[in-house]
Amino acid sequence: MHIPDGIISTTAAIGGYAAAGGMTWLSLYKIKQKYGNPRNGIPRAALLTAAFFAASLIHIPIPPVSVHLVFSGLLGVVLGWFAFPAVLVGLLLQAVMFQHGGLTTLGVNACLMGLPALMAHRLFCLRSLFGRRKPLPNAILAFLAAFSAVAAGAIMAALLLIYATPAYFDAAAEKTAVLTLSFAHLPVALLEGTFTAMVVLFLLRVQPTLLEADQK
């Protein structure tokens, strides 16, 4: 789901940085507004940023392509508004250390993964309607949140690649490749949905407050 340098137009890359800057400011504002002491959430955010950073290195071969884990849904479920800054930091480290993604597309990639993470957070917050400590509603919502985050990110990336690539790209070949990559993310969405549901069930048993700090 990472878009490398040189694939999208300069206008789209600049727009991505503007959108990522705005979302980072909004996230930090919400964090300051919701937390009595935002520093208490930094260790948890750092831990999941490391998980997000490592997940992209785990490639899953789905012929004729390969995809990698994202964990944007997991970040949204557990971190809430911390998710977008965590995604941004993780992507920056990936681009600098492993040339995974790109620096010119850092803003775009942050939006492609950070916005679905925030969407996953809002979806998981619906658990308050069914009971915060009830395992089944929590597991179902966690699965849907993570599944939706991966699916939304794949759809956004596909639309961006179709409509924001330079004119000299072969349009027919490009659309075929984009559609193939989009459908290849379906197994990833199912896998991450299942994994996130398992993590939520585990946290409900051992440390349920970790799932409630962001939903005050």
pLDDT, tens digit, 9 for 90 and up, residues 155-206: 888 888 888 776 556 666 666 667 777 777 888 899 999 999 999 999 999 9
Give the model's pLDDT for residue 62: 63
Give the span between the Cα atoms of 147 and 152, in whole angstroms. 9
Residue 133, pLDDT score: 81
Going along the chain from its start, the domains and CATH numbers come out as 10-215 (1.10.1760.20)
**Structure confidence by residue, pLDDT tens digits, 79-115:** 999 999 999 999 999 888 888 878 999 999 999 999 9
pLDDT at 28 over 80: yes
Give whole-number Cα distances, 74 to 50, 114, 116, 125, 150, in Å.
13, 11, 11, 13, 10
pLDDT, residue 6, reads: 83
SS3 letters across 83-144: HHHHHHHHHHHHHHHHCCCCCCCHHHHHHHHHHHHHHHHHHHHHHHHCCCCCHHHHHHHHHH
- pLDDT tens figures, 6-27: 888 889 999 999 999 999 999 9
Please provide residue 99's backbone torsions phi and psi, each rounded to the nearest 5 degrees.
55, 35
- CA–CA separation, 84 vs 75, rounded Å? 9
pLDDT tens, residue by residue, 34-83: 776 778 788 889 999 998 888 877 777 665 555 778 899 999 999 999 99
pTM, whole model, 2 decimals? 0.88
